[in-house]
Structure 1
């Protein structure tokens, strides 16, 4: 077989793969949705190789059905590489508003940084430094409660483990004396391949009544058994108790492989939804696609609304 023939075959295979990807798919992993004044802003880990550059793209919608973008201030990016900390591995952003400024907590170079902007579209910038840490840390989620800010995040030590610490008032550092482990993967659904590096990641925290809920994903993201469960506590620092009915979002409940790692938001009708990613197909992990499911409380239990999965498309 000639080299030329091999190259032609390879080119045709690559073209076929590209052709199979619908043009209206939004390809974001680890997604999050921020809403303000009736506009929903969607951010995440970029999976679309056809879009040049690195950083965090943003898409917008007013009805959660029709999306446009990328709409970020810098070439479609809300935060683009070069605007602050990070040279690679731009993962898992969270956007929130605090004291009339917009903040983006994100991962780069397997560390956590926080950038600010005057608009949800960016440009988000920072001084080029990450939060000080003695280990690699990823997947930030900032939660405000009782006048304090808490950073939930994943530390890479003996697996991916979820930790929490109180942040300083200016959100520039954690108070190390408050650092505490929330949970790590110990149960069967959390490590279906019995790996030596169990994974729990992607924390999202909210409060209902006097109870705190920590939603998280478990298993390696490449595993089709990637799924979402939750734990509860009576204080932001824990201790946390895992729900015995976990996982609540999985391939079994959505028919979507590798589904998880997202964020909670409220839709225009006041319903709880969880934006997340899933594998590109049953046989292909990436580029990962973006979707959402509806959640509800039933008899005090957080659960998935059956048949509520929707893929997010342009």
Structure 2
């Protein structure tokens, strides 16, 4: 009898623990305490890259009504967690003759042992060149690479993808997505060969990666001032498309205290299949489309190559780049 009582007591205890465990794991995730931004202050439109043994972020300087910033900074990190401000690397009033404000959404590309910096300035797309990833960058053209009004929509948000064969493609545009192959000098192109298209839901911020032979074109949907701002993607077997939009939920979307998560970039840790997505969100607290902060989250793929939805509440752990000797 005593043995039965003990067995019943043990069973009851296990049942209670099981129920409690189920209740705990059934609770919704904490959406009120997001990880802090990786850069202090307000920065948006981050382009993240792995160069040498460091990671770099090239952002838009935020915090002005109408996005009237005039200069660009660069940030470096040995591990994606600790970031150093490398200072101003390009200043429109002193480094350009054709634009003085609206310094937006830069991007970096490496080729010919040079660093090519693409940026928006007064709704034109420019290019600058440097010998180091931290600059200083200089304007080699004295004019825009892509002039305002060249195509429908705004000539902003440049991104350059350098393929395995060394060919480089410039993606850009708000309203329409545009792509053109750059010449070998990386500072010129045949504008008559610009291809324009608009994937379903496309607004701005195109970004391209390549994984296992598949090209992923990613972009931001809605407006950056809209809390629903989010990231979608399409795939192709060619950097020029056609691209087929992926079905299902957005790759990146705000939740809870995180609002307006978008205008992203993606970095692959060299020599691995580890990927991270950098993006901005409304500043927490009291942020909006003019006061945004830069964040990083892990990005993963499923067995079929689909990009899994990003958890904007997952903290990034330190990652080192192993440089081959």
2:78 is the alignment partner of 1:80: no
* Alignment correspondent of 2:144: 130
Is structure 2 residue 108 aligned with structure 1 residue 95? yes
Q: Distance between the aligned counterparts of 1:68 and 1:269, measured in 2?
A: 24
Report the TM-score when normalising by structure 1. 0.77
Structure showing greater Rg: 2
The RMSD of aligned alpha carbons is 2.8
**As a proportion of its length, which structure holds more strand?**
1
Cα pair distance change 1:109/1:245, threshold 3 Å: same
* Match of residue 293 from structure 2: 289
Q: 2:308 aligns with which of 303, 307, 310?
A: 303
Among 173, 190, 194, the residue aligned to 1:175: 190
CA distance in 2 between partners of 1:307 and 1:151 (Å): 28
Q: Deviations over 1:158-216 (max 9, x none)?
A: xx1111111222223332343222424x4xxx4xxxxxxxx611111111222110011
Q: Secondary structure at the match of 2:217?
A: strand
Q: Any residues of structure 2 matched to 1:64-75 within 5 Å, and which?
A: 64-69=80-85, 71=86
Change (3 A) 1:291 1:277: same
Q: For 2:240, what is the secondary structure of its paired residue?
A: coil
Q: Extract unaligned runs of 5+ from structure 2.
A: 1-35, 318-325
Number of aligned pairs?
268
Q: Find the aligned partners of 2:146 and 2:295 in 1 and give their Cα distance.
A: 33
Deviation, structure 1 residue 45? 0.6
Structure 1 residue 275 displacement after superposition: 0.5
Deviation of 1:307 (Å): 5.6
Q: How far off is 1:255 after superposition?
A: 5.0
SS at match of 1:137: coil
Tell me how far apart the structure 1 counterparts of residues 312 and 271 of structure 2 sit (CA, whole Å): 18
Deviation at 1:276, TM superposition (A): 0.5
Alignment CA distance shift 1:269-1:148 (3 Å): closer
- Equivalent residues in 2 for 1:162-311 (5 A)? 162-184=177-199, 186=200, 190=201, 200-252=203-255, 256-267=258-269, 270=272, 271-281=274-284, 283-285=286-288, 286-300=290-304, 301-306=306-311, 309-310=314-315
Q: TM-score, normalised by structure 2?
A: 0.75
If asked which structure has higher relative contact order (CA below 8 Å, sep 6+), I would say: 2
Aligned pairs (5 A) from 1:52-71: 54-69=70-85, 71=86
Q: Is the 8 A contact 2:236 2:243 kept in 1?
A: yes
